[in-house]
Chains A and B, each alone.
Chain A
Amino acid sequence: MQQLRNLGRRKLRTSLTILGITIGIWALVVFGSMANKINALVAGGSQFYEGKVTVSAKGAGMGFGSPVDISAGDRVASMGGVDVVVPGVSMLLADEASSMSMSMPQMIRGQVADADRGRETFPMSYASGRALTPADEGSNVAVLGSDIARQHDTKVGDTITLHGEPFQVVGILEPTLTAPDTTVVVPLEAAQRLYVKTLPPLVAAELDPATLATGFTVYPKPGTDPETIATEIRATAPDLEPVTAKDFNSQIGSATSILNSILVGIALISLAVGGLSVINTMAMSVAERTREIGIKRAIGGGRLRIVRELVTESALIGFLGGATGLVLGAVLVTVVNEAGRSSGTVLFQLTTGTALTAVGFSTVLGALAGLIPAMHAARLDPVAALRYE
């Protein structure tokens, strides 16, 4: 192919230009994969909070932390429009928050299975084993999120130790790319017991584990807006902190969309620099080849043909840069993900969409960057071009 041969004419210059695109696409792939992962977490979170009010003890953040008495749930249940209130206990899986992590912290969560009576909308599918049932209350059984199962190399039937107690693994979830991946689900009674173990002995002695909850999931009656219930909880129960999908989206969603814009912005800036260097390279190529363009035009090469050849050449620069950047970005993403997997930290998610977009974008960018010099070349007067020194 003639365009490949033309690229070979100035190997150093072409390679440097391709490198410029490579860096831009590399950044786009890496940051894009990071944004994908964050988006998946956020989308999962948003879906998790949809259609219900997630209530936690005040000051405890998103569903774990300081305990309240389980009777607080009855107060909520008596509010208008409330269908079911499901008490739950959540705590960190590790004894102390250890690893600095971009991902969700690993959690243990306990609630009576099926207490939500099918109202739960967040989809759960099982890679192996089964879901917990109400009959599991009182026994030490657990369902593991996919990341936790992978990290501990655990299969259904194995035993896992949680805060010093052995639990039999009865089910493992499919990856969801969000919170359930890093969560161990146990019966409520077991979670209450484990929770007390994490407290200082003096505090623990005061508590009856059976009356403990760290939060409630409140399902509204059909036709009732979760926001209405959240407003009433805020007004009447100062010890409880309700979170709805709307709250989640306004807090986390807007923060992540800014983060996404910054990440993608960085990549686009480096691509703009790469694009300019393609324009520069192609302008130099056109100047160098002025006489040969003059010959082609003189012996009957049409303008469109000249433009097409040069644009193909610069699109090729863009494609080669993009493909190289994609490969290098994919290598980095894979290596970092594999390294982080053992600690349950998966930073990136490289999707086919991101990969195709990156290479497609760099190819189009290359073509567009070549268009200006190519049009200039096509407009040259063949005779003047022939005489060009």
Chain B
Amino acid sequence: MTATALLEGRNLRKTYRLGRRTTVEALRGVDVRIDRGEMVAIMGPSGSGKSTLMHILGLLHSPDANHGPRPELSFGGQDMVNLGEGERTKIRAREMGFVFQDFNLVPTLTAIENVMLACDYAGIRGAPARALAAEALALVDLADRADHRPAELSGGEQQRVAIARALVNKPSLILADEPTGNLDSERSAEVLGLLRRFNQEHGQTFILVTHDPDVAAACDRVIRVRDGRIRDQSLSAVPQPLDLEAREAVA
């Protein structure tokens, strides 16, 4: 089985400048390859550069190009490093889905309007967008909460709305930063099961930043980051479907 690369990065570096002298080297030269249809976890201690890596892979930040070896990043075979912000925004809108750790939804919009926003940015509006959004909300089991504002939803429900929004355009890549960080283990397993199902049924690629070993264990592969470098990107030890079913059975 020869997998094709969806994302390929080389020499990815990111240095944050705090003051005149102080800099933080969040990423110190990372080579990474994510294949189509993979479900990958990024793990590591706090401050190790996991979110920084995810933001670069998700085209939210550019890798540093002004020092060290030239960075390379390709998505679907296309160069991303020299792309303008407008093009990157378009790719984020059409080909990527995002779930962030805590603040995900626009507070003035209802659940379904939040999901429709992603359709809108991808160029789908009106009745077709509403139908797609309703469908996505039904997938995360929130059809009856469509007209609730975020303030009227629990933390877990908000997270599921964000997942519905990330999935609604059927993007090839979904990036999630601590998608289960705010959830109890039961909810967390449920969300994870949902992501896994999409990964298997639609062949979508998932990158999950997580602290949770259970989440990592449910993925095909774990990228371990420490001090801005990749330590290890081994395949998961345990064959996951079994593991997941076992946990779901418990829940």
Contact = CB atoms under 8 A, between A and B. Distances in A.
Given A291-B103, A299-B165, A303-B89, A382 B108 contact: no
Contacts of B55: 383
Nearest to B95: A300
A297 to B, nearest CB: 7
A302 interface: yes
Interface of B: 55, 58, 60-61, 85-86, 89-90, 92-94, 96-98, 100, 103-109, 117-118, 121-122, 165
A292 interface: yes
Q: Which of B89, B92, B97 has the most CB of A within 10 A?
A: B89
B178 to A, nearest CB: 13
Contacts of B107: 292
Given A5-B108, A383-B61, A298 B98 contact: yes
Given A291-B103, A294-B103, 18 more contacts: A2-B108, A292-B103, A292-B107, A295-B105, A295-B106, A296-B117, A296-B121, A298-B58, A299-B92, A299-B98, A299-B118, A299-B165, A300-B89, A300-B121, A302-B89, A302-B90, A303-B89, A381-B61
Contact of A300 (B90, B103, B108): B90
B109 A298 contact: no
A386 B103 contact: yes
A9 interface: yes
A300 B86 contact: no
A228 interface: no
Contacts of B100: 295, 298, 386
Interface string A140-178: 000000000000000000000000000000000000000
Interface in A288-324: 291-292, 294-303, 305
B105 A300 contact: no
19 contacts: A2-B109, A6-B108, A292-B106, A295-B100, A295-B103, A295-B105, A297-B89, A299-B92, A299-B97, A299-B117, A300-B90, A300-B118, A300-B122, A301-B117, A302-B89, A302-B93, A303-B86, A381-B61, A386-B100
A144 to B, nearest CB: 62
Contacts of A6: 108
Contacts of A295: 100, 103-106
Nearest to B175: A298
Contacts of A298: 58, 60, 92, 98, 100
Contact of B94 (A294, A296, A300, A301): A300
A299 B103 contact: no
A299 B121 contact: yes
Interface in A1-42: 2, 5-6, 9
Contacts of B117: 296, 299, 301
Q: Which of A6, A294, A382 has the most CB of B within 10 A?
A: A382
Q: Which of B58, B60, B86 has the most CB of A within 10 A?
A: B60
Contacts of B108: 2, 5-6, 9
A200 to B, nearest CB: 80
Contacts of B118: 299-300
A301 B89 contact: yes
A290 to B, nearest CB: 10
Contacts of A292: 103, 106-107
Interface in A261-305: 291-292, 294-303, 305
B88 to A, nearest CB: 9
A75 B188 CA distance: 110
A54 B159 CA distance: 86
A382 B86 contact: no
Which 10 pairs between the two chains have the least Cβ-Cβ distance?
A: A300-B93, A300-B121, A300-B92, A292-B106, A291-B103, A5-B108, A302-B89, A383-B60, A383-B55, A301-B121
Contacts of A9: 108
A191 B199 CA distance: 102
Given A291-B103, A292-B106, A299 B93 contact: yes
Contacts of A381: 61
A78 to B, nearest CB: 83
A298 B96 CA distance: 10
Contacts of A297: 89
A94 to B, nearest CB: 64
Contacts of B103: 291-292, 294-295, 386
B98 A302 contact: no
Nearest to A297: B89
A386 B175 CA distance: 15
Contacts of B90: 300, 302
A303 B85 contact: yes
A362 B229 CA distance: 55
A297 B185 CA distance: 31
A300 B96 CA distance: 9
Contacts of B92: 298-300
Contacts of B94: 300
Contacts of A305: 121
Interface in A368-382: 381-382
Contact of B86 (A2, A5, A299, A302): A302
A300 B169 CA distance: 12
A355 to B, nearest CB: 33
A302 B91 CA distance: 11
Nearest to A385: B103
A2 B113 CA distance: 10
Interface in A176-222: none
Given A301-B121, A383-B60, A296 B106 contact: yes
